[in-house]
Amino acid sequence: MNAVTATPPVLRLADVSHTYFSRRRRTTVLKNIDYAFERGTFYAILGPSGSGKTTLLSLASGLDTPSRGAISFHGRNLTEIGLGRFRNQHVATIFQQFNLLTYMTALQNVTTAMEITGAKPATGSRRARALHLLEQVGLDKATVTRNVLQLSGGQQQRVAIARALACDVDILFADEPTGNLDEDTAQGIIDTFRELAHEQGKCVVVVTHSQQLATQSDRVLHLRKGKLTEQVNAR
């Protein structure tokens, strides 16, 4: 027996399949997916529209449970940890539709997320940390004190990114986070993701159609016909 015990990956999908049932139709979106996501790594998941990318993220982030198979975080099954607890303490998600609290300002969206998840900045107040993160994604003070419904799609997307960054968690999921952004703003976000993975050791998993993002990730995964495969790059 090997004396060295391998550390379990931050997130493992073991033989995961998922089927949606609606009226008489059943759609199997994911089929027998096995994959281990590691810390310190920036992943891009590509795939045609309707291939199940959002479904995969909702299972991996504990929003839903797979029809078959198991998902584990550092070797513990998500159902054992508790899906609510897992979502609250260990993952942050940037949703395709942003899911911002529409009766609040951009700044309040970020500070509220920090309060809910109990994220405490190393120095300074939550408000100061939130302002810093919002500035990092390119939003100035005048913009962030406006109600989010008064912001453009790209600005709302950046609020959603800042909110996810504010929750100091192990895994960051993002569903098309640069979809509404111009190339320069998108590059700033990609740089932030790379830094989170490479300097802070986070696991960053991003669903995207963007080649600009995919080419700068560490691993590119393709979802097609229910199967997840890793692209092998000759470097």
Q: How far is the CB of 184 from Mg ion (least distance, A)?
A: 25
| Closest to ligand ATP by CB, 27 or 231 | 27
Give the Cα-Cα-Cα angle 167, 173, 177 (nearest 5 degrees). Answer: 100
Q: How far is the CB of 33 from ligand ATP (least distance, A)?
A: 13
| DSSP characters over 58-92 | HHHTTSS--SEEEEEETTEEHHHH-HHHHHHHTEE
**Residue linked to tokens 């004396």:** 3
| Closest to ligand ATP by CB, 18 or 129 | 18
Taking CB within 5 to 8 Å according to partner kind, which of ligand ATP, Mg ion, none is near residue 123?
A: none
| Closest to ligand ATP by CB, 9 or 47 | 47
| Closest to ligand ATP by CB, 52 or 66 | 52
Q: How far is the CB of 20 from ligand ATP (least distance, A)?
A: 3
The size of the interface with Mg ion (CB under 5 A), counted in residues, is 1
Rounded Cα distance, 102 and 147, in Å: 7
Rounded Cα distance, 37 and 11, in Å: 5
Cα torsion through 84, 165, 193, 55, rounded to 10:
30
Q: Which stretch binds Mg ion (CB under 5 A): 14-22, 37-45, 49-57, 194-202?
A: 49-57
Going by C-alpha positions, the residue among 30, 45, 17, 11 that lies closest to residue 230 is 45
Report residue 19 CA to chain centroid gap.
Answer: 22
Q: How far is the CB of 176 from Mg ion (least distance, A)?
A: 7
Q: Interface with ligand ATP by CB under 6 A: which residues?
A: 20, 22, 27, 29, 47, 49-55, 96
Going by C-alpha positions, the residue among 25, 29, 22 that lies closest to residue 54 is 29
| Closest to ligand ATP by CB, 64 or 168 | 64
Give the Cα-Cα-Cα angle 35, 38, 40 (nearest 5 degrees). Answer: 150
Q: Provide the β-strand partners of residue 199.
A: none
Give the one residue of 41, 51, 54, 109 binding Mg ion; rule: CB under 5 A.
54
Q: Which stretch binds Mg ion (CB under 5 A): 48-56, 101-109, 145-153, 181-189?
A: 48-56
Q: How far is the CB of 154 from ligand ATP (least distance, A)?
A: 18
Interacting residues toward Mg ion by CB under 5 A: 54
